[in-house]
Amino acid sequence: MTIKDTRAMRDDDIATIMRAMGHPVRLNILRILARQERGECCCADVTDELTLAQSTVSQHIKVLLDAGLIERKSRGTRNCYIVQHDRLAALGAAYSGMIAGFNPAPSKLEAEPA
């Protein structure tokens, strides 16, 4: 399932993205893509940095694509990838709101002045 909408995220959107980011290789791929000066990077460039088989890197990239965290751009015979910073920002906002919702509500005694 590809998620393109950057409006308020639903819980299933957050869970999909968190699953995609739940592997150290995929986090490294996001970091590699994010630090590219030209804003994009091809699979072969990522493979060179990770010292993994190209097929392994491609599988991880597919997970990130399906979660909407990166976008593919065709450059001739090569596919290049770009981080979707707006998706990461929306995730950050949603995650902050979700974590804030886990804080316990003040008890009635704490809420009333003494």
Query: What are the tens digits of pLDDT across the range 14-61?
Result: 889 999 999 999 999 999 998 887 778 888 889 999 989 999 999 999
Rg value, the chain, Cα: 18
Alpha carbon 36 to its chain's center: 16
DSSP 61-73: HHHHHHTTSEEEE
Cβ contacts of 104-112, under 8 Å, gap ≥ 24: none
Domain presence at residue 19: yes
How far apart (Å, rounded) are the C-alpha atoms in residues 20 and 17?
Answer: 5
Domain presence at residue 5: no
Q: What's the one-letter identity of residue 25?
A: V
Domain count along the chain = 1
pTM (two decimals): 0.76
- Domain of residue 69 covers 11-111
